[in-house]
Structure 1
Amino acid sequence: MASGLYSHPGIPLEAHSNRVLSLARQMLDASAPVGWADSTRRALLELAIALHDFGKSTDFFQTALQGERRKDMYSRHAYLSALFFLHRALAWLEQKIRDPDDLWETVLFAYLAVKRHHTNLRSVREEIRAPDETDMEVLEEQIRHIQPEKVNAFLAALNLPDDLRAVLTFDPDAFLTWLREESPSLFRGWRRRWRQEKKGWEDASNFFAFLTGFSTLLDADKLEAGAKAHLPERVVILPNTVAQYKHQAFGVAPPEGLNALRERAYREVVNHPALGPERHLYTLTLPTGMGKTLTGMAAALKLRQLVHEKTGRMPRIIYALPFLSIIDQNAATLEKVLTSSLGQVDSRALIKHHHLADLQYRERDGDLLREWDYAASRLLTEGWHSEIVVTTFVQLFNTLLAWRNAAARRVNRLAGSILLLDEVQALPAVYWPLTRRLLTQVAENLGAYVILMTATQPYLLEEAQELVPEPERYFRALDRLDVFVDLAPTTLEDFVDRFKPKLDKSYLFMTNTIAAAQRLHSLIESLLGSEEEVVFLSTGVTPKERLERITALREGRYRFAVSTQLIEAGVDVDFDVIYRDMAP
């Protein structure tokens, strides 16, 4: 029997709740998060997900949904939903296990997930409190304005196991009595245990356990409401995709020279005997110009296949970089790589995600290309629903330390994933202790794999396996620079007065600040006159224009460029002579 209740205009509440539950189950099956692995914990999370919109059953919400009244505190639903979940979860646990207190953290985390599924997270200590008098005034009104026959029809229609459905009955008097008489002692006990037990926690297992459950609810709920409950199909990317691209693009590597060195490094990394599912932390250290992007991705794809063979799960690859200027460059390279294998690349295989990214999500079905509307595309892109996600350090670490609703959605994508961090030395040193802790904990608690790539490897993960045997060999082989240090203070004006360009050389000038770069650019332009164009690069240039200028430099169309430090972190350009402002 239909309940006659709605979650969104024209969508029955039970239909929405069951579709969210179905999506969540698919996500949980795919990621198998440690904190929700056993059957009782998994059942509690599924119950919380099924009841996340219980509070929409009030007459206040239903009339607001029809536009007949303004939304106010009485039409809010998350807190009421969380409390009803708690009420029924405890009743189920009393029948299921001898001492429900054994699972108090699991129940608390599921309760918080429902309570905050439309808002950002707050301190757990703030959240562990019983409803006060003001809360109870609202809750009593809400409960008195729920029609029992309708809400019980909704509860009976939920796709839950029989033992859970058996406790899903709504009795307004029993619920109110529990809120007034039993919930205060429950929350007091939780508060006391939280203060005592969190002091003994030596790892982030509870942190990631909560976030994976919370993330699963958020992602499933938003996809059901905004993307027609669509969960994109996985795409097969062969482990030899990079090798196939290299053969098509470059042919057979010569026996000598730079390309021979690149090929040797590539083979050493991809065939390293330690690369496999048993080890989770790696470093890849090669000098600039040795093809770390392709080598690192090849290692990630091989690791992905090895993990799949052992566990049956196919890890996603999260490729994080520090600056937008190299994200576009590396994403374009990866698209070429994937095209060589897949033929046509859509968003299921590769997406870019940062605050200025194109959020159009495209899926190919044979010869047809489906483009989702902006709202659905944003949900699918921001949820990292792709095999390879190219993103920024900001987005990755916001996800690892998620407290905002939007970032928390992605945490379930990290379970078992391969995190490829390029140019990791760009992370400010002040954050290294936190970064070290986060990466080791995400590996330990979510089963993620971490590969740190750079030419100047910071001392971040001392227990990591280096994938390049004797990196020093490559640095010695590529010792092709002459470095001259001039420590005498000088002004930009005096520097330009002494600068005498040669016709057969190209020049790059790097400064520490945008203001200095702008001033130097103006002085160099005045020196050269109309004979030469001087390219200017900084984060103040729009990303589209910046990419066009970098592309022009890579194609050798300009001999002179002035840039801030952004060009140092992996932007692939060549110059004969580089002048560098003394680093701060």
Structure 2
Amino acid sequence: MKKSKPKYYAHSLEDKPPEEWQLLEDHLRNVARLAGEFASSFGSDYWAELAGLWHDIGKYSREFQKKLYDANGIECYLETKPGKVIHSQAGGHLAQQCMSNGMERIFCWLIMGHHAGLADFSSDKTGAKALEPKMRNPERSESILENVPDKIKNKLSPDFPQLLKDGADISFFIRILFSCVVDADFLDTEAFMNSEKAALRAEVYPALDDLLIALDKHLDDLCQSAEPTDVNRIRAEVLEQCRQSADLNPAVFTLTVPTGGGKTLSSLAFALRHAKKQSKGRIIYVIPYTSIIEQTAQVFRKIPGFENAVLEHHCNVVSNDESKESIRSRLASENWDAPIIVTTAVQFFESLFACKTSRCRKLHNITHSVIIFDEAQCLPPSYLRPVVFAIRELYRHYGVTPVLCTATQPVLTQTKQFDFKFKEGFDPAEVVPIISNPETLTDNLKRVELTNHADLRPVSYDELVGAIQAENQSVLCIVNKKDDCRTLAKLLPEEYTLHLSTNMCAAHRLQTIENIRKRLKTEAKPLYVVSTSLVEAGVDLDFPVVYRALSGLDSIAQAAGRCNREGRLPNYGKTVIFLPEKQPGYVQAPASLALEYLLKPDQLKTIFLPKTIESYFKQRFFQLGDHALDEKQILRLLGGNLDFYFRTVAERFRLIDDDWQLPVIAPYEEAIFFVDELKCAPHLNRKIIRKLQRYLVNISCKERILLEREGALELISLPEIFQLNAHFYDLKYGVIAEGSININPEELIC
């Protein structure tokens, strides 16, 4: 009698016989098909299919099959010797046998890292975790490969895809292709292991075409009902130019519009129209600050038809109900499978340079999309070269249309001015402005006059308080340090003063901002608001007078955008620049450069024009120098002859260096009840942790020492989840820890 071939399985089901387990060949073919579909948008479908087909062939080992049987308490019919089971290497060893010219190394990264993540090629620090040791002695997998069906292992070696022939960066290509494979693996495994969860993904989102129709109607209604002011007329002009420019061929678009010019909805109108014209898959908004993200997502969801189309992905997002939609949103956040994504710059760029599978799996859904980089001037200078490199790769080779959206456009094109060569920048021919006349637009939308206080000599707190009160109207005062913010707020009349800083948790800040808006509309008495720079970008406040501590020219322009924002004053609003007695170190260089413009009387009237901002940024980047724009040497680690350091890059690429700080739970409003729930939970409850994220405040190491000395921190759960004693959280100022230090954390919060 002919002996039947053994069956090999990929996954088992608890309390189910092997006949109901997933056959390994089925899993391999499913992953190959899905991965190929994901990679088809950038012409690399065969590469993804082959990596998907080979990713788990290590499971053809007798040891792995016995492991499945043993885990389910079933006697295995295969005789094996005890030993460690590693199933992720055999596919790479097969690639080494079949391929050459570096192709085999690429496939080894894709296959050998599909669980552990992308590794450094070689590393003294990571040792066996590096790729090179795993590639040694590929004959180790020969006994496993004998069990692999010929129709799976005997595949033609692929040709290099066209995008690599066109000069695409290989390390970036590996990362995007890795995303296709690991997401396909996740999704097929989930479909077999958890059909109910998989079914939630199958529900259809609104189509981009339908969202465009809904947005056009919403915008037309807004235009018809808007007051006939000069500001609203200009906003309508901006919207019309965005609609017209959307028909242009893909480019690196710039949307340079003064603050208050309606960038948010106009950029969405451009993105949806361009996506329809160019058959793009989704719209992604990349925003620097969580305070703006929450505001932007709220604006989008208020558009009829958009309620279930927007995925808000950042650490503070919390669902207030347990509906099916909230579960679906959490699933979408795993791989960004939604039509409109609103996320942080930290989440976006750290994912692009990540090595872990969980963070990389969304990357293929970034391709073939329209990406709005809101407040583009906030792109972090110390990571500017790798950040612009990533945007450029997405545009040139992965079907992405980037839009750099800001009132103060940074210079990101290749330039030789000042002998400074920004080689990772965009070619000037690639950059297309959406607004045809940004200089004229800025001039027409002028609502503010800029003045210098005391000829920019250093001023004391008392002098500044006197000047603010002498205005006899509401004033927003923006300072550079949290300590200055609190001290100055305490010197102003308590009844008429509000404070904003990152010493307050997100929920506290948002409630304070709503309180400010309400009081500005309803109270006749002057309102004084003292804030750090968190209000500058995208926070919709409108004051007749704004005071701004000396800083970079881009920050000054953003601060002026909170002054006479709606243009309702009979004359210009008033923005006053002052020099504090003490400046933090991180602001001194950009402030000194801004001083060169502010002290020239003839430039004060034109200081916010795009040509002035361009001149400022060129000098600023030259001042920083080439090394400072890639401080952690990210691009060097991804250069070389396929000797990439993916894991090291992921460790170094952190837009917020949180080693110096500790997140603590502020005893603010509902946080107290959520903490009680967490204490009573038998295990670490991640649902409660997510709810608590809106109540977190980051404190410095020095503040932690001071607070621990006072017994103000209570450890409520591991790993290191602390609650702050209520006596040390003020309902006006937030965390109170005397002797706090000032580092530049500001709002790039993941």
Pairs within 5 Å for 1:58-457: 58=64, 61-62=67-68, 65-66=71-72, 77=85, 79-83=86-90, 85-89=91-95, 100-101=99-100, 104-105=102-103, 107-125=104-122, 126-129=130-133, 164-165=151-152, 167=154, 203-226=167-190, 228=195, 229-230=198-199, 231-232=201-202, 233-238=204-209, 239-251=212-224, 257-272=230-245, 275-276=247-248, 278-308=249-279, 314-337=280-303, 340=304, 342=305, 345-346=307-308, 349-358=309-318, 370-371=324-325, 373=327, 378-457=330-409
Aligned partner of 2:33 in structure 1 is 25
- The yes-or-no answer on 1:544 pairing with 2:507 is yes
Whether the 8 Å contact between 2:465 and 2:491 is mirrored in structure 1 is yes
Secondary structure at the counterpart of residue 251 of structure 1: helix
Distance 1:445 1:426 in 2: 25
State the alpha-carbon separation in 1 of the partners of residues 338 and 269 from structure 2: 17
CA contact (8 A) 2:351 2:360 kept: yes
Residues 361 and 381, structure 1, Cα contact 8 Å, conserved in 2: no
Residue 742 of structure 2 is matched in structure 1 by none
2:464 is equivalent to residue 495 of structure 1? yes
Residue in structure 2 matched with residue 520 of structure 1 by the alignment: 488
1:572 partner SS = coil
Distance 1:498 1:553, change over 3 A: closer
Q: Counterpart of 2:237 in structure 1: which amino acid?
A: R
Write the distance in 1 (CA, Å) between the matches of 2:433 and 2:62.
53
Partner of residue 560, structure 1:
528
Does 2:449 align with 1:482?
Answer: yes
Aligned-partner residue type, residue 34 of structure 1: F
Q: For the Cα contact (< 8 Å) 1:20–1:224, is it kept in 2?
A: no
Relative distance call for 1:453 and 1:264 in structure 2 (3 A) is same
* Residue 89 to residue 431, structure 1, CA distance change in 2 (3 Å): closer
Q: What is the CA deviation profile of residues 277-303 of structure 1, one whole-angstrom value per residue up to 9, with x for unaligned ones?
A: x32311000000110001111100011
Task: Give the drift of 1:482.
Answer: 1.9
Residue 243 of structure 1: how far off its partner (Å): 2.3
Normalising by structure 2, what TM-score? 0.59
Q: Distance in 1 between matches of 2:52 and 2:537?
A: 44
Shift in CA distance, 506/4, structure 1 to aligned 2, threshold 3 Å: same
Task: Give the total of aligned pairs.
Answer: 493
Does the 8 A contact of 1:350 with 1:390 survive in 2?
yes
Cα distance between partner residues in 1 of 2:263 and 2:67 = 55
Unaligned runs of 5+ in 1: 69-73, 94-99, 157-162, 169-199, 309-313, 363-368
**CA separation in 1, counterparts of 2:489 and 2:222?**
36
Q: For residue 27 of structure 1, report the CA deviation from its aligned partner.
A: 5.4
Structure 1 residue 470: deviation in Å?
0.7
CA deviations on 1:131-173 (whole Å, 9 max, x unpaired) are: 669x99xx69xx98x8x9xx95xx66xxxxxx633759xxxxx
CA shift, 1:416, in A, is 0.8
CA deviation digits over 1:413-441, x for unaligned, max 9? Answer: 12111111000101233333333222111
* Shift in alpha-carbon separation, 1:130–1:285, aligned structure 2, 3 A: closer
Between the aligned partners of 1:478 and 1:130, the Cα distance in structure 2 is 61
Name the SS for the 1:465 alignment partner.
Answer: strand
Unaligned runs of 5+ in 2: 75-81, 123-129, 156-163, 414-427, 552-586, 588-750
Q: In the TM superposition, what are the counterparts of 1:4-19 in structure 2 within 5 Å?
A: 5=9, 7-10=11-14, 14-15=22-23, 18=26
1:100-142 deviation line (CA, Å, top 9, x unaligned): 436x41x432332221122232223441346669x99xx69xx
Question: Is the Cα contact below 8 Å between 2:371 and 2:402 reproduced in 1?
Answer: yes
Counterpart contact for 2:39–2:48, Cα < 8 Å:
no
Give the direction of change, closer, same or farther, for the CA distance of 1:61–1:114 in structure 2 (3 Å limit).
farther
Quickly say closer, same or farther: Cα 1:56–1:386, change in 2 above 3 A. farther
Q: Classify 1:428/1:58 alpha carbon distance in 2 versus 1 (closer, same or farther; 3 Å).
A: closer
Superposition deviation, residue 75 in structure 1: 7.4
Please give the per-residue CA displacement for 1:532-574, whole angstroms capped at 9, x wherever unaligned.
3x32222232222222222232334572222111111111111
| Structure 2 residue identity aligned to 1:388 | I
2:741 counterpart residue number:
none
Q: Secondary structure at the match of 2:277?
A: helix
The alpha carbon displacement at 1:17 in A equals: 6.8
Partners of 1:240 and 1:298 within 8 A in 2: no
Partner secondary structure for residue 218 of structure 1: helix
Q: What CA distance in whole angstroms lies between the structure 2 residues aligned with 1:90 and 1:120?
A: 19
Relative to 1, partners in 2 of residues 1:27 and 1:131: Cα closer, same or farther, differing over 3 Å? Answer: closer
CA distance in 1, matches of 2:62, 2:477: 61
C-alpha separation between the residues in 1 aligned to 2:371 and 2:58? 31
Paired with 1:4 and 1:130, the residues of 2 have a C-alpha distance of 24
* C-alpha distance in structure 2 between counterparts of 1:513 and 1:271, whole Å: 43
* C-alpha contact (below 8 Å) 1:24/1:216 kept by paired residues: no
Provide closer, same or farther for how the CA distance between residues 211 and 507 of structure 1 changes in structure 2, counting only shifts above 3 A. Answer: same
In structure 1, distance between residues paired with 2:214 and 2:361: 30
Q: Name the aligned partner's letter for residue 241 of structure 2.
A: E
Q: Do the aligned partners of 1:282 and 1:466 also contact (CA within 8 Å) in 2?
A: yes
Does the CA-based 8 Å contact 1:284-1:454 persist in structure 2? yes
The amino acid across from 2:307 in the alignment is V
> In the superposition, relative to structure 1, how do residues 538 and 48 fare at CA in structure 2: closer, same or farther (>3 Å)?
farther
Change over 3 Å in CA distance of 1:205–1:289 after alignment to 2: same
Q: 1:275 to 1:132 in 2, by over 3 A?
A: same
1:74-99 per-residue CA deviation (whole Å, 9 max, x = no partner) reads 8765x53322x2455567x5xxxxxx
Name the CA distance, whole Å, in 1 between partners of 2:187 and 2:470. 58
